[in-house]
Structure formats: C-alpha cells, structure tokens
Structure 1
Amino acid sequence: MSKKVLISGATGDTGSAAVRESIALGLQVRAMVRSIDERATALQALGAQIVAGDFNNVNSLRDAMQGVDAAYFVYPVAPGLIAATVNFAQAAKEAGVKAVINLSQRSANRESTSDSCRDTYISEQVFNWSGVPVIHLRPTFFLEWLLYPWQLPYLQHGILRLPAGKGRHSPIAVADQGRAIAALLKNPDDHIGKTIPLSGPVEMDHEQMAVELSEALGRKIVFQDIAIAEYVTSITDMGLPPYVVQHFGGAMLDYQHGHMSGADNNVELLTGRRSMSVGEFARLHADQLNAT
C-alpha cells in the first residue's frame, strides 16, 4: 500500500505543485483546502482526496490527519502563523503523523524588521518544541515573483523594479519546490530534524538577473533599484494587505544585507534533477512576460 500524505494549502502555489508531484510519485494524497472550489475540483480530478480544514480549528486539522503518514505545512504571508503552527503541531501529534514538512523562508530571522520573518522563525521553534518529527524548508525568493501583479507590468515594459541594492540570491521556481516537497513526503526519515535551504542553480544580483531575462526574452530588461520606502508606497497603492507590505519592506532590507544569498543543489540531491534557471523560467513563461 502506498504512503498516505496530507498537503495543506493545496490550492496555493507550492501546495498545488506538491499535490501534482506527490501523485506522480505514487503517494495517496489528501489535499486540505479551506473551501471546495474549481481549484480543489481540479486537484480531485488528478486523483487527490479533498478535505476541508481550518488552521484555526485544531479538530478539523486532527480529522484531516487521521491515517496520514506525513504532512506538509504551508501558511500564507498573513497574520496568524504562530497559532496555525501550534494547532498543526498538536493535531499531527494526536494523529501520530511520522513527519511534518514545514515550508519556512530563507529570511526567517528573529531580528528582522519584518513581522512575517520573525513569526516564521518562531514557527520553526514551535515545531521543534512540539516533539513532532519535522523538516524545515527554507526557500529563497520564488521565480514566480516575476509574474506577480507588483512586478509583471514593469517587466512587460522592460523594467526589473525592486529595492534590491547589491543583494544576491538564487531564485527558485514553485515547480521545483513541489518536487522537493513530494520527495521528502515520500522519504522523510533521513532528513528529520534538518533545515534544508532550497534555491535555484545560480546565485546572482538583480543586474545579472536582468541580463539573463534579456537573453531569454529577446528584448532589453533593465534593473531599476529603488528605495524601500518608494517600493512600499507603490505596493500599498496597488492594494496589497498591510501585513504583506510590512513584510516586503523588512524582507527587502534583509535581502540588501545578504540574508537571501547563497546557492545549493538540494533540489537535485532530493529529486535527481536540478532546479530551473532564471532563463529557463522566463522562456517557459514568455507569453506572460512579453505581453503588453
């Protein structure tokens, strides 16, 4: 009998990728969603069992975890992470889950000015205190940022616009994270208690990223370094929630000070295939990135 796993946030970016990849690995997937909608129905069509669960309701989490061998925890950039972590850890303990895969973030840091970065650090500690067998994943910035509403319109007009300074990172695609998550859900034992960074194959600054995007898209992309205050004002005007705005302001300050630097081959070690590059991602999404 194949292993049964629970994937929370199953209609989100990493959650939906983890569902697809876990099914591909032959796992029995229970996909936890807040409500049954078209996205949940699409996952059901792939072979996932759909269950409703609420991070604020420990009983719903315990019910979702009954009979599960391993579980994936992911929480959005929003208030409530620590309470959600407590409930998820308690439910996992009661249900006898043998491994929890926790999606943290590279900039988890108790000294950060970002509330989310500090909360993410504490969330890791809560899982550690709980005694639940846990693996922490710390991905760097997602390549999908290039497609988000606060970035895409500028890129479509040839501008990579961020308050990045001389900071460096090796961005990672959601699809590659999904492969790593699925691999760990299937075979967690050798990684219990570890914190695993996840990144793309090459560390670069945003000037270098603009060059690679230019080559991939066949048109000039220019990096525009702006002040954090200007960036915060612009994303506030776009309607991003205050908690997200506050996080981005603090996270970009951390980024400028090297908190997101480094590259690794952990995706390849876990899955047998390296993560995709900036250029590969850009070519894959050229229709969106080149649209005006």
Structure 2
Amino acid sequence: MAKLITVFGATGIQGGSLVRALLQDGSYKVRGITRNVESEKAKTLAQQGVEMVKASMDDAASLEKAMEGSYGVFAVTNYWELMDQAKETEMGKNMVDVARKVGVKHFVFSGLQSVKKAIGKPCPHLEGKAEVEEYMFASGLPASSVRYAMYMDNIWAALTPQKVADGEFVWNVPMENKAVDMIYAGEAGRAVAAIFKNPDQYIGKSVGLSGDRKTMSQYCDILNAILEAESVHVSPTQMTAKEFSQMPFPAADDLGVMFEFFQTEHPCYSREETKRLDSKTFDFQAFVKDNKEKILAVLK
C-alpha cells in the first residue's frame, strides 16, 4: 500500500509545489490540508486525486484528523497572515506535538535560521520558524527542516522592481553588493519530495534550498539580457539594509534586518545539495526564461 504524505498549505506556493511533485512521482497517496476545501484551488487538487481535508493549526483536534494515518507530513506556517511571531510559533509547535502523538514517521518543516542568535537583532518572520525548528528537533520526532532561500517568485509579488522612468526599474533588494541565495519556490517541491524519499539521509538534518547565488547586479544583468528586446531595464537599488528598514510600510524594519542577515556569512544554503535533491532545480536565468511573460506583465 502506498504511503500517505499529508501536505499543509496544499494550495499555497510551497505546499502546492510539493503536491505537484508527489503526484508526478506517483509513489505516494497525497492528502492536502487547507482551511477552505471549497476554494477553486482545493477543488482542482481533489479532481487530481488529492484527498482534501480542512484543518486549522490552532485546533489540535483538527490537526489529529489531518495527520491520522500519515507516514509523512509537510508543515509550513505563514507569519505574514497574522504578523504575530508568538502565534506562528504556537501553531508550529502544535503541529509537532500532534505529529508525535499520531506517530508520523517523517515530519518535514519549512523552517528558517535564528537571526537573533546570528546577529543579535530581532527578525520576527524568520525567528518564529527558527523556534519551531529547534523545538521539533528537540522533541524526538523523526524530522527534517527545509529552509527556503529568498524566493525568485517574489519578483512578481513582494519584491517587484519599482518603476522610476519609462522602461526603467529599480529592484529594491538592499544587498549592498553582497551575493544572496534565491530559490524558485514554485518548483522546489521536487527537492522536498526527494527528502521524503531518502529519510535515512535527511532525518535530523536541515537543508537550505537554493537555486542560485549572485549579487543583485548580476541578477539584474540576467534580467536585462533576457528582457532587452522589450525595452525594459532593471537596476539594483543603491539603498542600504538600514535605509530599507526605515521605509514607510509594515514590517520594513523586519525585512531590513533580514537583508542585513543575508549579507553575513551566517545563512546556510546549498546549491549543490539542492541540485542533488533535484537535478532540474532552476537557476535564475532558467527562471526568468520560464516566466518571461509573467515578469513583463507585472513590470508593464
């Protein structure tokens, strides 16, 4: 009988990518967890053979129902929904506790490193996941952590280059000429699926997923080479991380500390390990080519 893997956030970026990878692999039964099983995305997954189940991370009874009978569980929390580190941590710990209770054999959590331990500054949207990851490994639950680098996908979401003149854009990722790791989150599910297929190698370990590591100038050069015929030119920001943290929008200070952390030697991501897990991992050039029209749509 095929093993069951339960995927939280099945209609989101990380969970959705893993569901697609598991379905393509064909070795597992797949259960998708969402708060709204009537959404169009949930209905589409159900039509593809995914068992869709409603659950809430702050409801232990619903979590037990969600994980019951699961060989593996992929768990992801969303800081940005509530912007509450304590609540995110509580939800993550709830999932760990229930997974232990129902006997999950391989729990994979979308974790991150502790910025406060690394550079002594609070970074709530990373710190909550770091707390859950530490709790998970200390609990004795057979578990792995996957740490996603900065999303390439954010180019059409949270970090779209800003227009400064006709055809001219500035990408406000303040890395101050330091290289930064990126991952195509929408395609990283294959790497996570490979972790489930190799428990002996990955239980007890954290894996930093990265498809590329370049300076923002180099990333912009790739964008400009591919978009040249479209009269679009993107330049890296000259802003510092400290200046970014003072911008007038919610969580600017949080993100500014994240970019400061990314400029240090502390972030642990591995393009080599990611490539071993998934030989089809996208580098940034492949990502831009694959999503050229989508990127142009948000720029224009």
Residue 82 and residue 166 in structure 1: after superposition, are their counterparts in 2 closer, same or farther (change >3 A)?
Answer: same
Deviation digits for residues 73-120 of structure 1, max 9, x if unmatched? 111124222101221011101111001111113565533421222222
Aligned residues with identical type, % of pairs: 22
Indicate whether 1:170 and 2:181 are aligned: yes
Q: Which has the higher contact order (CA 8 A, sep 6+)?
A: 1
Deviation digits for residues 170-202 of structure 1, max 9, x if unmatched? 3110134211112222332321101111101x4
CA deviation after TM superposition for structure 1 residue 233, in Å:
5.3
TM-score (normalised: structure 1): 0.89
After superposition, residues 102-251 of structure 1 pair within 5 angstroms as: 102-105=109-112, 109-110=116-117, 111-154=120-163, 157-200=168-211, 202-218=212-228, 219-228=232-241, 230-232=243-245, 234=247, 236=249, 242=250, 244-251=251-258
Instruction: Specify the code of the residue in structure 2 equivalent to 1:31.
Output: G
CA deviation after TM superposition for structure 1 residue 246, in Å:
4.1
3-state SS of 1:51 partner: strand
3-state SS of 2:56 partner: coil
* In structure 2, distance between residues paired with 1:197 and 1:75: 17
Work out the number of aligned pairs and report it.
284
* In structure 1, distance between residues paired with 2:19 and 2:121: 32
Higher mean C-alpha displacement, 159-168 vs 31-40? 159-168
CA deviation after TM superposition for structure 1 residue 245, in Å:
3.7
> For residue 281 of structure 2, what is the aligned residue in structure 1?
275
* In structure 2, distance between residues paired with 1:161 and 1:145: 12
Indicate whether 1:288 and 2:288 are aligned: no
Please give the root-mean-square deviation of Cα atoms over the aligned residues, in Å. Answer: 2.2
CA deviation after TM superposition for structure 1 residue 282, in Å:
1.1
The answer on whether the counterparts of 1:183 and 1:270 sit within 8 Å (CA) in structure 2 is: yes
Deviation digits for residues 39-93 of structure 1, max 9, x if unmatched? 2112212221100111111111111111100000111124222101221011101
The answer on whether the counterparts of 1:112 and 1:251 sit within 8 Å (CA) in structure 2 is: no
3-state SS of 2:2 partner: coil
* In structure 1, distance between residues paired with 2:102 and 2:42: 24
* In structure 2, distance between residues paired with 1:9 and 1:108: 25
The answer on whether the counterparts of 1:161 and 1:226 sit within 8 Å (CA) in structure 2 is: yes
3-state SS of 2:172 partner: strand
Indicate whether 1:14 and 2:27 are aligned: no
CA deviation after TM superposition for structure 1 residue 24, in Å:
1.0
The answer on whether the counterparts of 2:113 and 2:129 sit within 8 Å (CA) in structure 1 is: no
Indicate whether 1:35 and 2:36 are aligned: yes
CA deviation after TM superposition for structure 1 residue 230, in Å:
4.7
> For residue 52 of structure 1, what is the aligned residue in structure 2?
54
Instruction: Specify the code of the residue in structure 1 equivalent to 2:123.
Output: S
3-state SS of 1:225 partner: coil
Instruction: Specify the code of the residue in structure 1 equivalent to 2:217.
Output: E
